[in-house]
Amino acid sequence: MSQSRIDPELRKEFDAAMRRTLKQRLDYSFIHTHKPVMDEAPWRSFETTAAYRKWCAENLPSWLGYA
């Protein structure tokens, strides 16, 4: 694709991103989202996968995708 066909705004954003250090790019790429219930205990263990799935269905909000 020739540069004349690239949207100038997209090219500007790309050039700015390329000037960032690898550390900056990695820092910008990971966004921590607090997960209710999941993040409120240091660890959990379950005897079976079925027990884990049951706990998830009963305790986690559906938007986390564990139901």
Q: Is the pLDDT of residue 67 over 70?
A: no
Return d(Cα 54, Cα 47) in angstroms, integer. 12
Residue 2: per-residue pLDDT: 54
- The distance of Cα 53 from the centroid of its chain, to the nearest Å, equals 22
pLDDT digits (tens, 9 = 90+) for 8-66: 999 999 999 999 999 999 988 888 888 888 888 888 999 999 999 999 999 988 888 87
Phi and psi, residue 50, nearest 5°:
-60, -40
Q: Is the pLDDT of residue 1 over 80?
A: no
DSSP 8-state symbol, 20: S
Confidence tier at 5 by pLDDT (50, 70, 90): confident
DSSP 8-state symbol, 38: G
Return d(Cα 44, Cα 55) in angstroms, integer. 11
Q: Would the pTM count as exceeding 0.95?
A: no
Q: CB–CB of 66/37 below 8 Å? A: no
